[in-house]
Structure 1
C-alpha cells in the first residue's frame, strides 16, 4: 500500500490531478488508514495509468468516466476510435509543421504545382510582376480557406486564360492599374469584360467558393484597394451583371 504522493510519483502525475480524478468520479477514493492517510494499491496505479493515457490523448474527463464503466468490447472500440482521431491529429500537426518550416525558410507559397506553373505562365504572357504577386497572394488565401473548392475555381480561371481573347482582357485589366478612375477606357474595358463573362457563362452560374463565404468579397476588396481604376471597373461590372 502506498500514499497518494508515492502514487503520483510512480505514475507521473501530480497529487492535485489525482484529487481531481477522485472528485470527477474517475478514480475511486480509498479509505484512510489509522493515521488519516489514503492508501493505494497496484490496481489503483494501473487504473491511474489508464486514465492518464486517455487524458493525454485528449479524451475529455467526462468521456473517460463513461469508458471506465463501459463493457470491455465497447471500451476497446472506443480506444480504436480514439486511435483514429489521434492519427488525424498527427497528420494535421505534421502538415502544420511543414508549413511552419516553409515559413521559416521564407517560402510563403504553399500552393499546388499547377498554380505555381500558372504563375510562371502569367509572367511569360506579359503580365506585370505586380499582377503575378497579387494573384499568388490571392490563391494562397483561397487554397488556405477553401481547399475543397479552390482547385475547381483555379482551373476555371486558368482555362479562361488559354483563350487569347480572354487573356487579352486580363492583360488590359492589369494595365489599367494606373489609369485615372474617370478615364473613358475604364468604361470600355468593363463593358468588354461583362460581355465576355456573359458569353462564357451563358448556360451556367458564375463559379464561386461558397455563397456564404466572405472570402470573395475580401479578395475583391484587396484588388479594389490597390487601384482606383480597378475599383471602378469592379463597380461597373457588378452593375452590368447585376451581382
Structure 2
C-alpha cells in the first residue's frame, strides 16, 4: 500500500494535485489506517495515471471525471472532439500569424495608420528624441480614439503639419530642448522661454492649417489627464504654451 507521496511520485504528479483531485471528487479518498495515514492501492494509481494522461492531452478535469466513469467509446469521441477543436485553433492561429506578417510588411508600426507609421519611423531615423516621438505617438493614439470618425482627416492633417514642421529650422531644436527637460527641474526662465517659442510655432501652424472639426466632449478631460503623466518640467512648458495660445481654441 502506498502513501500519498509514493502515489504521486509513481504517477508523475504532485501531492498537491492528488489532494485537489480528492477535493473535486476525481479520485476517491481512502480511509486512514490505524496510524492515521491514507494508503492507496493499485486501482488508485491506475486512475491517477489515466487522469494525468488525459490532462496531458488537454482535457478539462470535469470532462475527465465524466470519461473515466463512462464507456470506452465516449473517451474516443471526446478525443476526436478535442482534436477538432485543436485543429480549429491551429487554423485561427495561422490566420492571425498571417495577418501579423501582412501588418509587419505593410507598416513599420502596426499601432498607427500607415502614413503616420511612416512619418514616425522617418522621425526616429532622422534622429528625433525617442521620448519625444513616444509622447507624440500617445497624443495621436488618444486623438484617433476620441475621434474615430475623423481618422482620415486626422491622418491627412498630421501629414500636412509634419511636412511643414520639418521645413522649419527651429523644429528639431525645439524638440531637443523639450526632451532635455524630462530629466531636470527647470527654472521659470527656461520654462517660459521654451513655452514662448513653442507657442509661436503653434500660432504659425494654426494660421497655415485648416479648420478642425468638432472636439469630443471628453477630449479636454482625457488630454488633461494624459498630461499628468509627463515629467514635471515638460508639463509646465505645455501648460504655459497652451496659456499663450488659448485664444486660438
Q: TM-score, normalised by structure 2?
A: 0.48
Instruction: Please say which structure displays the higher CA radius of gyration.
Output: 2
Q: TM-score, normalised by structure 1?
A: 0.49
